[in-house]
């Protein structure tokens, strides 16, 4: 039998790599999960799963009920994939992929970003089926998050399948900025092609095993207009709602510190819309908890860096709403963003509200009114309310707010964040249209990479770690400056590094590597406002020696990029850490663009200028390209009598080098198009447009499969969807 051959090949492949033997844990599915397992025997099933309702447990129930069946579980995030893999270790016939991992396997190339994904799709190269078993059941998790490219992959992958289990929650769709569309979940019975004769059945996982009844009722009544959307599963304390001047950190900590002691730092998270850019409340809470009580906190490298278990172990976890999706803690402190002009609870707010296993705390600034959808009476009835103001607490809700403007610029935009959360497909289109990128140096083989650590252990007993990837690049450029000038910058952006040692001491490579790493860490603490990493490392008397084996070779690698220049000439012509700032007006709005140029090389009396952006990363990206283009624009606007600078992106880690050529006019167009996408209102496609796009993708996949298209159902364009009802 064909299936037996596939099964034999799969088992041989699987067991040659790793054998997942061991006792399965005692797992008893809930009534809702059992119903889904039974539906899947004769139907495809689409499930609306509430936060904490046991999606992964449902997948395990399916595996438990089908022990001799090849099953694939496809997840949206790497973190979820790893968590799911751990749970399925005792199920050898279950494979767990991310969408990108599946695409890499399917097309025989490593796909680590959306740009490569789009290139693979454009190439129209047929998939490689040889090493892909014919799975009898495929479980698609978090299907509210896919983009069109992921839908295209899904159509390609499931063309031969028999049964599908689709899991997701429309209220947890938060990646619109990446092109995700929750309609892929809601319309899945209509848009997922399959040769199977089975019909579709809808189901729900309505009970949250994470949330208490008190928290679930509070969310339903205060934020969801009374809709009984979530059912709590256990008793717990009422949410704590703290209202007032959030600058009064000491007063707020009278309530938060006892809770953090009760639940422990490792079981505590503080969530906000953003951390690095503007949220001073979280910074003050984190810093004060350490200063007064030595409560450790994980360092927030960036708003979008994924959570690392090593970094968060034993510490309070500060995070953005988006980054904390899929995570939970016993105690969650939620810094409400009540300035959003929504008449419906934003999905990101909903996600943040549903992360607490035991105690939810809401912080609400007295300066900002409630969002229109919030039920003030339900708040007063469903929480322990604390007002830290002298005057009585008043309801602040307003009737209706006007719709938000289609485009609204913030007062200040930092260059490093300008392209963040912009879809890679959009970046790709803008860059292809306006810029000329020459990849003059390819990455070295992996064996030649400078593998400086991205995290270091700071407490052996408690197994605490701190991230350091963000300071490695700064350490290299500081050492490069020392080689060039014999000096090291003692002030950057008004922030002083510690006392500069003598020149004789600095000549020692080991001492200099330690001192520069320490200075770069301290500099980041002062500029970012998050001082937890610096203070925790200093308190532990950490050596700061992780760059000792790597700094000399890193600096020499950077020096080779300037091999044709003598040291005195280069020292004269090269300027390090140049601050840049300009006002930009768009659509009768003005913002301030701010950034730093790592290095500016000026020759021929300023008539020949090259701007360098130095990275220490796994791979250069289009986001890095946008950063250096904006810096070039800022410099050119301040030096309009000179030609637009040449732009260089250089990655010390793997010796990759890109050179970007453009003009002042094109650079401005790039900036304006990026900002319009990032700060413009997302226009949702109507259902007909969405379904038409799905039909186009299905035709594209049918052509891609060629001879295998006989397995693909005939696509009837939009007519195939007419009269179909939305599942949820």
- pLDDT tens column, 476-498: 999 999 998 887 765 554 455 55
Q: Give yes or no: residues 463 and 574 share one domain.
A: no
Give per-residue pLDDT as tens, 188-242.
888 887 666 788 999 999 999 999 999 999 999 999 999 999 999 999 999 999 9
690-716 pLDDT, tens digit each: 899 999 998 898 888 875 554 444 434
Give tens-digit pLDDT for 22-65.
Answer: 455 667 889 999 999 999 999 999 999 999 999 999 999 999 99
Give backbone dihedrals phi and psi of 609, rounded to 5 degrees, phi first.
-120, 135
Average pLDDT over residues 162-188: 87
- 226 and 112, same domain (yes or no): no
As a three-state string, the secondary structure of 664-705 is: HHHHHHHHHHHHHHHHECCCCCCHHHHHHHHHHHHHHHHHHH
Parent domain of 482: 452-549
Is 501 found in the same domain as 361? no
Q: Cα-atom radius of gyration of the chain, to the nearest Å?
A: 27
- Same domain as 674, residue 705: no
Residue 655 region, left (φ>0) first, then alpha (ψ -120 to 50), else beta?
left
**What's the pLDDT tens digit per position in 621-642?**
999 999 999 999 999 999 998 9
Of the pLDDT bands very low, low, confident and very high (cuts 50, 70, 90), residue 161 is low
Say if 610 falls within a structural domain: yes
Q: What is the rounded distance in angstroms from the CA atom of residue 384 to the CA atom of residue 363?
A: 12
pLDDT beyond 50 at 721: no
Q: Same domain, yes or no, for 232 and 159?
A: no
Do 290 and 351 share a domain, yes or no?
yes
User: Is residue 405 a part of any domain in this protein?
Assistant: no
Q: Which of 306, 347, 330 is nearest to 83 (CA)?
A: 306
Strands 436-441 and 656-661, bridge-based pairing: antiparallel
- Position 158 confidence tier, pLDDT thresholds 50, 70, 90: confident
Q: Write down the pLDDT at residue 15.
A: 34
Assess contact for 594 and 412: CB atoms under 8 A. yes
Q: Any idea what the CATH number is for the domain that residue 354 is in? A: 3.40.50.300
Check residues 297 and 342 and name the one with the higher pLDDT.
Answer: 297
324 is a domain residue? yes
In a domain, 19, yes or no: no
Residue 513 lies in a domain: yes
Secondary structure element (H or E) that encloses residue 71, with its range: strand 71-75
- Helix intervals (H) in 74-179: 78-87, 99-107, 114-123, 148-157
**pLDDT value of residue 19:** 37
Whether 673 and 697 map to the same domain: the answer is: no
**Which residues is 536 bridged to in the sheet?**
none
Contacts of 102 (CB under 8 A, 6+ apart): 72, 74, 153, 157
pLDDT at 337 over 90: no
* pLDDT band, residue 554 (cuts 50/70/90): very high
What's the pLDDT at 405?
A: 61
> CA of 64: how far to CAs of 69, 81, 178, in Å?
10, 19, 35
Q: In whole numbers, what is the pLDDT of the chain averaged over residues?
A: 86
Which residues lie below 8 Å from residue 333, measured CB to CB, with a gap of 6+? 256, 268, 269, 270, 271, 285, 361, 363
Local confidence band at 500 (pLDDT 50, 70, 90 cut-offs): low
Does residue 727 lie within any of the structural domains?
no
pLDDT of residue 722: 41
The confidence band for 7, taking pLDDT boundaries of 50, 70 and 90, is very low
Convert the pLDDT of each residue in 416-432 to its tens digit.
889 988 888 889 899 99
For residues 534 and 437, give the distance between their C-alpha atoms in angstroms, rounded to a whole number.
38
Q: Cα separation of 221 and 211, whole Å?
A: 15
Does some domain include residue 431? Answer: yes
pLDDT at 727 over 70: no
| Residue whose token pair is 């934003």 | 346
Is 259 found in the same domain as 153? no
Q: What percentage of residues in the chain have a pLDDT greater than 90?
A: 59
pLDDT tens readout for residues 570-607: 999 999 889 999 999 998 899 999 999 999 999 876 67
User: Does residue 647 sit within a domain?
Assistant: yes
Do 178 and 217 reside in the same domain of the chain? no
423 and 476, same domain (yes or no): no
694 and 662 inside one domain: no
Global pTM value: 0.85
Domains: count for the chain? 4
Q: What pLDDT, in 10s, does the model give residues 127-141?
A: 876 677 888 999 999
**391 versus 541: which is more confidently predicted?**
541
**Same domain, yes or no: 535 and 425:** no
- pLDDT tens digits for 657-671? 999 999 999 999 999
């Amino acid at each position: 039998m064909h299936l037996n051959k596939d099964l034999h090949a799969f088992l041989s492949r699987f067991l040659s790599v790793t054998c997942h033997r061991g006792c399965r844990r005692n797992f008893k599915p809930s009534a809702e999960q059992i119903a889904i397992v039974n539906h899947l025997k004769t139907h495809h099933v689409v499930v609306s799963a509430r936060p904490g309702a046991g999606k992964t447990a449902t997948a395990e129930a399916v595996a438990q009920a089908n022990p001799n069946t090849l099953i694939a579980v496809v997840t949206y995030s790497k973190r979820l994939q790893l968590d799911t893999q751990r749970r399925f270790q005792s199920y050898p016939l279950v494979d767990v992929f991310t969408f990108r991992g599946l695409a890499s396997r399917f097309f025989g190339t490593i796909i680590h970003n959306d740009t490569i994904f789009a290139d693979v799709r454009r190439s129209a190269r047929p998939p490689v089926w040889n090493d892909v078993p014919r799975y009898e059941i495929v479980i698609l998790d978090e299907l509210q998050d896919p983009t069109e490219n992921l839908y295209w992959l899904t159509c390609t992958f499931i063309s031969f399948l028999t049964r599908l289990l689709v899991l997701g929650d429309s209220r947890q769709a938060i990646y619109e900025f990446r092109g995700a569309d929750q309609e892929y979940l809601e319309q899945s019975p209509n848009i997922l092609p399959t040769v199977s004769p089975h019909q579709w059945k809808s189901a729900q996982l309505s009970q949250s095993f994470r949330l208490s009844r008190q928290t679930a009722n509070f969310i339903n009544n205060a934020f969801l207009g009374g809709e009984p959307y979530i059912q709590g599963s256990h008793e717990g304390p009422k949410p704590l709602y703290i209202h007032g001047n959030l600058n009064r950190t000491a007063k707020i900590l009278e309530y938060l510190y006892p809770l953090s002691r009760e639940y422990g730092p490792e079981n505590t998270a503080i969530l906000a819309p953003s951390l690095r850019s503007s949220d001073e409340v979280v910074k003050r809470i984190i810093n004060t908890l350490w200063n007064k009580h030595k409560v450790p906190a994980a360092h927030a490298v960036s708003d979008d860096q994924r959570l690392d278990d090593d970094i968060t172990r034993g510490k309070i976890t500060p995070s953005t709403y988006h980054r904390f999706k899929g995570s939970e803690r016993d105690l969650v402190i939620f810094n409400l963003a009540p300035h959003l002009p929504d008449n419906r609870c934003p999905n990101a707010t909903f996600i943040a509200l549903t992360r607490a296993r035991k105690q939810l705390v809401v912080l609400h600034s007295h300066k900002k009114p409630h969002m229109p959808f919030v039920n003030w009476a339900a708040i007063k009835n469903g929480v322990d309310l604390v007002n830290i103001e002298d005057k009585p607490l008043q309801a602040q809700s307003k009737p209706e707010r006007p719709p938000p403007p289609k485009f609204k610029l913030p007062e200040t935009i930092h260059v490093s964040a300008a392209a963040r959360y912009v879809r890679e497909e959009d970046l790709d289109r803008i860059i292809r249209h306006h810029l000329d990128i020459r990849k003059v140096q390819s990455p070295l083989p992996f064996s030649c990479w400078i593998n400086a650590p991205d995290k270091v252990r700071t407490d052996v007993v408690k197994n605490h770690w701190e991230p350091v990837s963000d300071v490695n690049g700064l350490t290299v450029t500081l050492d490069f400056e020392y080689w060039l000038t014999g000096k090291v910058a003692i002030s950057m952006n008004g922030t002083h590094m510690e006392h500069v040692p003598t020149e004789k001491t600095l000549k020692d490579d080991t001492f200099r590597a330690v001192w520069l790493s320490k200075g770069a860490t301290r500099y980041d603490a002062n500029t970012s406002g998050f001082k937890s990493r610096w203070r925790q490392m200093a308190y532990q008397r950490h050596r700061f020696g992780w760059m000792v084996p790597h700094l000399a070779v890193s600096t020499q690698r950077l020096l080779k990029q300037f091999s044709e220049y003598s040291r005195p000439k280069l020292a004269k012509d090269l300027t390090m850490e140049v601050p840049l700032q300009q006002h930009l007006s768009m659509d009768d709005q003005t913002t301030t663009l701010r950034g730093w140029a790592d290095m500016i090389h000026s020759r021929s009396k300023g008539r020949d200028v090259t701007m360098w952006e130095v990275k220490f990363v796994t791979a250069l990206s289009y986001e890095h390209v946008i950063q250096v283009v904006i810096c070039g624009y800022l410099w050119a606007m301040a030096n309009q009598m000179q030609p637009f600078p040449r732009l260089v992106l250089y990655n010390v880690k793997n010796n990759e080098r890109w050179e970007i050529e453009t003009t002042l006019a094109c650079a401005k167009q790039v900036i304006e198009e990026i900002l319009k996408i990032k700060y413009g209102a997302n226009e949702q496609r109507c259902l007909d447009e969405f379904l038409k796009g799905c039909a186009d993708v299905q035709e594209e996949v049918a052509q891609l499969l060629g001879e295998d298209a006989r397995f693909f159902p005939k696509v009837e364009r939009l007519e195939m969807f007419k009269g179909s009802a939305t599942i949820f």
